Structure formats: structure tokens, C-alpha cells
Chain A
Amino acid sequence: MGTLLFGMDNRTSKENQLIEKGEVTGMRPGSEVIHSEKAEEKPASEKTNKALAVKPIVRVLSEEEHEEALINRPKPKNVTPLATAKLTPKDIPVFEDTPERRETLELRKKRHFKRKLRDWGIFTGYLTPSFVGVLVFFFLPLILLLKTSFQKSPTNSDFVGFRNYERVLTNEAFISASKNTLTFALISVPLAVVLALLIALLLNSGLPGKSIFRSFLLNPMMVPVASVVLIWQVFFSYNGVINGIAADLFEGAQKIDWMKSQYAQIVIMLLFLWKNLGYNMVLFLAALNSIPHEILESAEMDGAGPLKRFFAIKLHYLSPTIFFVGIMSLINSFKIFREVYLLTGDYPFDNLYMLQHFMNNSFTHLDYSKLSAGAIVMCVVMIIIVGGLFFAESKFDSDVEE
């Protein structure tokens, strides 16, 4: 047991053996050398336990020797208490399979199962209202959609295989619509993220009146679509205000029909950014505030410039927020159809023809099978994109936590 007791100490195993023999008392951890020298000098017959206990051997070392002893003292080995302890079979508890024990085990199992069931019941109960509604108004329509996409038409339920999909995927309108929707999302979402981040950094750099600017920028989010559309019409139509200003500023400036030219998508992007920058910026501001500023300060002390601090520290802490803002912007980029529709109607200029236009027009032309096939294609693409985003986020998150 001695080894167990002294195991925590940083004595060597040799010392431990000595202690167990009872030869040394009150020995300091470096002074083993002295002892061994002393033992050589003395005859073996005189060395008894009693003599050692009564008068401990004291020998004055010279200074050099002392230092030598201090410096070259043996290093303690990694002695853990359990590693040296020897477990006998009787130390290990053995549970006999008695009837009482079996009974308690069974009871415990039952109770555990009961609790699990209770938890499941409670939380399913909380979910039920939403789940029923979603089932009826969202999942059921999707299933119906899947069904009609394989039918000749909703009323004529002949199975036509993938003919509807073939029809949609070779449809020029569908191809250009999905191309437009994708390009819009691919350009405007990163733009919204980066610009919002820049504005948030600007506001966070110790500007006076930060909260006022914040609420100013958040304001456009609250403006109803109808008002936005009215404003955009006044500004960007052929005889609109922007063209008027351009004509005033530059002599001989060509009037541009903004909504019916290759600039149309830029105008809509402007609208998108105007609406969503505030929201994204608030998200980024909060994330910036949550960065522990001891780290930023110590980095500044060590001479890291603002750029270095941003890329090495802030970006690391912002990464979950960047993902979140990206997903929210993606949602909002799908919602921008509302504005486009109200601004330009059913058939806008070519590069504004979105997937939603395609579906709307198929609906009004009663071409349901084409519509449902197109919708299913869109769903699949969206599941892949969003799933990829979430997978990337979880991967990235685990990296960040490490």
C-alpha cells in the first residue's frame, strides 16, 4: 500500500522502495545521493533501523557538491497511483445474477423506457399542431405535385414516366428562367453579405451615432412592396427621375429604359440590396460585438494591423454568422420575385424572367404537368443547395470549435 500512498509524490521508485523498507525518514527529494555515499562508508553490521531512527546521518556537503546534487537530481517518473496498485480478483465487484437483482434491473429498464416514452409524448405533443398543418398544407401538396408530375394531366391520370421532365428540361423558357434565377442569387447573395459586413465594420469602428445609422438602415425593410414598386417606377422607368438627373448632369446622356435593357437585373439587385442590407448588417453588428475583445486588444498590442486583425480573428468568429446571413439572403432573393412581378408584370425583359414567372405563366396557361415537373426539379435543386450549405456549415463549425 505504501506505493499507493506516496504515489502522488514526485519520488522515484527507488526512493519508494527505501521508504517501504523503513530505512529513510524525512528525506528530501534530492538528497538520495548523500545517502548512497554514506551507505558505502559504513560497515553493514552497524546499519540498523534503530540507529538510523535515533540519529539521522548528517553530512555537510561542500557548496559545489550541493549544487551538483541539486542540479543532477533524478527526474521523477510518471507514477500514477493506480498503475502501481495490483488489483486482486476479490477487489473487482461481481454482481451475482440473483432474482432480486434481476428484478431491480428490470424495473430500472422499465422506468427508463417509461421516461423515454413520456419525453417523446410530451415533445411530440408540442409539435403536433405545427406538424398536422405542415402535413396538410405543405407536404401533401408536394406529394400531389410529385404525382401529377408523372401524369399526363391532373385529370387524366395516365402514367407518362419522365416525359414531363423531358418537356420541361428542354423548354427554352425554363432553361433561361433557371439561369436567370441562379445568376441573380449567385451575384446578389455574396454582394449582400459582403456589403453588409463592410457597413457593419464601418459602424463598429467607433462612429458616433451608431444606433441612429443602424435604425436608418433598417428602415427600408419595413417599407411595403407596393410603395417600393411605386418609388422604383418613378425612378427607373424610361421617363423616370434617374434618366432626368442623368440628362441634367451630362450633356447628351442617352436615355436608358432601365427595366427593359441589360441593366434590368442590376436595378432589381439594387432594390434587393436596398431592402436587405439593414437586416444583414444588424446580424453582423451583433456578431462583431460578441467577439471577445481581450483577444483583439492583445492582437493589437502584438502589432497586428486592422487588416490582419480582421482576417485572422474577426473572420473566424464571424463565420457562423456569415453562413446564417447567406441562408437568409438566399430566402430573400427568392422573395424578390414579388417586386419584379409587380414592376414588370407577367412577361418581363428576358434577363428578368425568373422561375416563378415560368410557374405563374404555366399556371395561367393551365399547363399543370409542366408546372409540377418544373417545381419538382426546382425542389430537388434547392434541397441539394441547402443541404450542401448546411453540411458545409456543420463541417466548418466543428472546425471552429476545435
Chain B
Amino acid sequence: MDELTRIERKKQATLARRNIYTESKAPETFITSMSEEARELFFASEKKRIALNLRKRKIRKGIITGIGVFIAAFISALALVPIFFTFLNSFMSSEEIVANYNTVFQSMSGHATQGATYMSRTPVLKLIPEEVTIKQYTTLLFMNPEYLFKYWNSILLTLPIVAGQMVVACLASYSFARYRRKRREVLFFSYIILMLMPFQVTLVPNYMIADTLGILDTIWAIILPGIFSTFAIFLLTKYMRQIPSGYIEAATLDGATEWQIFTNIALPLCKNAIFALTILLFIDYWNMVEQPLVLLTDVNKQPLSVFLSQINEPELGIAFAASSVYMIPPLLIFFWGEEYLVEGISRSGIK
């Protein structure tokens, strides 16, 4: 039996291969068995049913999308509330702020008495100021020159680090991406470990080295280690390894030197990553707190981040304006380079 069917199939296959087809009669189906009118009716009812199903599906899809949008909106609201909160509060008058949030900071700082700390009063989450003033900003910018100095210190520390680290990282990561030997991979791994290391690990020896180099208590004590930090190398190498080797081979065949390949092929292809890294590094070093606290004992040289994080009761009135002003450069950079940032981050995670 099995043999027979096998032969039959072989026969069929052979015939088919030679383009010979046998005609077969169409079998009777449900549709052909019906009369003309019944068929019409059946089709009409089917159409209705399908339309209804489609509409149902559409509604269901709409509801699901709505829920999705609601959840996404809720999450983004959570993400944005603190930012808006700071900005809006910065337009309140100092008295209003002190009246509202004083209790918060009384419980924080040690010198309030026990009774005052455990008062029953809590501040209200105020988003809209009673009267809109820019008095906080004027006090901040014109009455406190110290604040502007710190702002300048922050810029003075951040920009050289970011620029220097990008230059060093571009060169080093090109080397890591193109020259892959065993020993280099080990070195690269050790770079990754260094990237992960918290600052506190090498705190003491760093202090000692800065001391022997004679740069302790100058901004170079922070800038130099910052420039040679390995975070950018890690990401850029990951990015540069994605450059198709065909591009480089083609350039070599056309007689390009290594430097030409680097500047004309590797760098333009990594433009997005470089922009993204610049933004990431900027925000990272704009936030720097521990390094200046330890390595810069001179208060006048410390950046704004240190100063702001020590704001307490006395400066509460201008705290919100101060943090708003401090927030502006990163946010501006973010809005300017968001596309590069997203593009650059995106490509780093895909193999």
C-alpha cells in the first residue's frame, strides 16, 4: 500500500515536472450547493458580520492605545513633575517659599529643637505661585556675586574636561577598534574596570599624586584625571567597531593613510556618538561633587554643584532660582542635541 502511494506520488511529480497537468473536476462545496438567492443572502450576512467584527476590533485597539497613551503620559508626568516644580517655584517670592518650605529644612538641619522638628504642619505641593515675580533671580544674579563666580568655576572645570576627554577618547578608541590583539583586549578590559571604579577607591593615591605633581588645590587636579577618564573610550570603541571593514579596506586600496582614514571615515561615521558622548560627559562633569570637595580645599574655586548641594535654610529663598539657573545649560544642550543624543545612545547598544 505504502509502496503504491509512493509510486503514484512519484508519477505525479514527474508529470508535474514535465508540465503535464491532469484536469480534475471541482468538488461540490458549501457555496456552490446553495441556490442563487441563498448565496446572495449568505454573502450579505457575512459582510455584515465582518464589518461588525472589524469595528469591534477597531474599538478594542483604540481602547488599548488609549490606555497605553495614558500610562505613557502618567510616566512622563512623573518624570517631568520635579523639573516643572523647580521652575515654577523659582517664580515665587522668597517669602512665600520660606513660609511654605521652611518646615522641610528645619527637620533636615540639626539646629532646630526637637519640638520644632516634629511639628504637625507639612508643606503643600505648590505648583502655581501666588504672585509671579522674578525677584529670586534678581537677588541671585545681582546681589550674590559669589554665585556667579561659582557658575564660572563650573564652566571652567567642565569644558576642558569634556573637550580633552573627547580628543583623547577618539584617538584611543580608534586604536582599540582597529588594532585587535590579545594584549590590547586585556588593556581594554582593564579600561572598563577603571570606568566602573568609584572615585573613592583611588581617593588617597590620587590625592598623593596631585600633591607630588604640585597641582593640588588648583583646577588641574580635577581636570587632568577627568581628561583621561575611560568612560568615553568604552562607548566610542563599541561604536567604532561597527564601522564596516569594507570602508577601511577601500580607503587603504585608494592609498589613504591611517590619519586620513581616521579623520575622513571613522570620525564622520561616529559623529552622532561623539555628540551624544559630549552631552553625557557634560552632564556628568557638570554634576561633579566629590572630586572638588576633596581636591579643592579653596572654597572660592569650588563649582556651583558643591555650593548648591549645601544650600540650607538661610539661602532657601533663592534655592529654587539657583537650581533653575543651574539646570538651564544641560537642558539647553539636551534640546539642541536631542536627536544626536538619541541616535548616538541607540547605536551603542546594538551589536
User: Would you mind naming 18 contact pairs between A and B with Cβ atoms under 8 Å apart?
Assistant: A123-B179, A129-B172, A154-B204, A203-B72, A213-B75, A214-B342, A219-B331, A219-B334, A223-B83, A224-B323, A224-B327, A226-B323, A230-B311, A239-B117, A241-B123, A284-B349, A341-B290, A359-B201
- Tell me whether chain A's interface is mostly helix, strand or loop, or mixed: helix
Taking a contact as CB atoms under 8 Å apart, the answer to whether B309 and A342 are in contact is yes
A-B contact sample (4 more), CB < 8 A, given A202-B71, A207-B68, A230-B320: A126-B171, A138-B194, A218-B341, A286-B346
| Chain A residues whose C-beta falls within 8 Å of the C-beta of B258 in the assembled complex | 122
A222 to B335, CA, bound (A): 10
Residues in B whose Cβ lies below 8 Å from that of A218: 334, 338, 341-342
Knowing A141-B202, A145-B205 touch, does A217 contact B76 (C-beta < 8 A)? Answer: yes
A window 202-240: CB within 8 A of B = 202-203, 205-209, 213-231, 233-235, 237-240
> Whole-angstrom distance between the alpha carbons of A155 and B324 in the complex?
46
Find A129's partner among B76, B101, B168 (CB 8 Å cutoff): B168
Is A250 an interface residue, CB under 8 A from the partner? no
Residue among A133, A199, A208 making CB contact with B228, cutoff 8 Å: A133
CA distance A350 to B78 in the complex (A): 28
Across-interface contacts of A243 in B (CB, < 8 A): 122
Question: In the complex, are the beta carbons of B79 and A220 less than 8 A apart?
Answer: yes
Tell me if A105 counts as interface (CB < 8 A to partner B): no
A230 interface neighbour in B7, B75, B286, B319, Cβ under 8 Å: B319
B351:A320 contact, CB within 8 angstroms:
yes
Is B153's beta carbon under 8 Å from chain A? no
| B349 touching A324, Cβ below 8 Å | yes
Contact: A226 with B348, CB < 8 Å? no
Q: Which residues of B contact A148 (CB under 8 A)?
A: 204-205
A129 to B175, CA, bound (A): 11
Contact with A along B116-127 (1 / 0, CB 8 A): 011101111100
A372 nearest in chain B by CB position: B204
A134 at the interface (CB under 8 A from B): yes
Which interface residue of A125, A140, A230, A244 has the most chain B CB atoms within 10 A? A230
| Residue A368 interfacial (CB < 8 Å) | yes
Closest 7 CB pairs of A and B: A133-B228, A286-B346, A141-B205, A244-B122, A226-B308, A123-B179, A130-B172
Mark out the residues of chain A between 311 and 326 whose CB falls within 8 Å of any chain B CB in the assembled complex: 320-321, 324-325
B10 touches A140 (CB 8 A): no
* Neighbouring A residues of B218 by C-beta, 8 Å: none
Instruction: Answer whether residue A136 sits at the interface, using C-beta atoms and an 8 A cutoff.
Output: yes
Distance in angstroms from A275 CB to nearest chain B CB is: 10
CB 8 Å contact bits of B74-95 with A (1 = contact, 0 = none): 0110111011011000000000
User: Which of these binds chain B: A50-58, A85-93, A378-386?
Assistant: A378-386
